[in-house]
Amino acid sequence: MKVILRKNYEGLGEIGKVVDVRDGYARNFLIPQKLAYPYAPGYIKMMENEKRAYQAKMNREIQDAETLAQKLNGVELTMEVQAGEEDKLFGSVTSQMIADKLAEKGLEVDRRRIELAEPIKALGNYKVPVKLHQQVTAEISVSVVRQPE
C-alpha cells in the first residue's frame, strides 16, 4: 500500500515522501497514529499544505535556536565544587547543574540539550556542546574549580 508520510519517520523517510509499506502496517499503525495519509489525490494537496506549514515552523525554530546559540557561544560558567586530593570531585558536575547555572544568567536551556558524554568528575576547563536544534549547536565553556574553604 502506498502512503504519504505526514512526519519524518526514521526508517521510512521524510515528510511528504510517498512510500510503499505493507497494508497492515499502514492501516493498523501509520494511519491511526497520524504518521501517514493513504496515497490519493486529495491527500496529496493536503500534504503539500501541511509541508509548507511544517517548513515555516522549522524555519522559525531554527531562527530561534540560532539566536539563542549566539547568546550561548562564548558563555563561561564557573562551577565551584568540593574536591579532594588529586583534583577529584566529591560527586560530579551534571548537565542539570549546568542548566541551573545558565538559568541564573538568564539563559533558559533544557538539561537534555546539554550534551555531556558523562558527568564531569575532575577539576579543569571543559567545552560543553549544547544542541539547540537538529541543525544548531552552541558551545559553552565550563570551568570547574575548587570551592574556597
Residues 42-97: tens digit of each pLDDT: 888 888 888 898 889 999 999 999 999 999 988 899 999 888 888 788 888 999 99
Start and end residues for every CATH 3.40.5.10 domain found in the chain: 2-62
Determine the 3-state secondary structure of 2 from DSSP. strand
Q: What would the grid cell of residue 37 be?
A: 495519509
Start and end residues for every CATH 3.10.430.100 domain found in the chain: 70-146
Confidence of residue 26 (pLDDT cuts 50, 70, 90): very high
Q: How many CB atoms lie within 10 A of CB 21?
A: 16
What is the average pLDDT score of the chain? 90
**To which CATH superfamily is domain 2-62 assigned?**
Ribosomal protein L9, N-terminal domain (3.40.5.10)
CATH node for 70-146: 3.10.430.100
In percent, the amount of the chain with pLDDT more than 90 equals 55
In this predicted structure, the answer to whether residue 41 has a pLDDT above a threshold of 90 is: no
- DSSP alpha helix (H) spans, the chain: 23-25, 41-72, 95-104
Tell me what pLDDT residue 33 has.
93
Residue 95 to residues 10, 92, 110, 128: CA-CA distances in angstroms? Answer: 27, 10, 9, 9
Q: Which residue type does 82 have?
A: Q
| pTM given for the model | 0.71
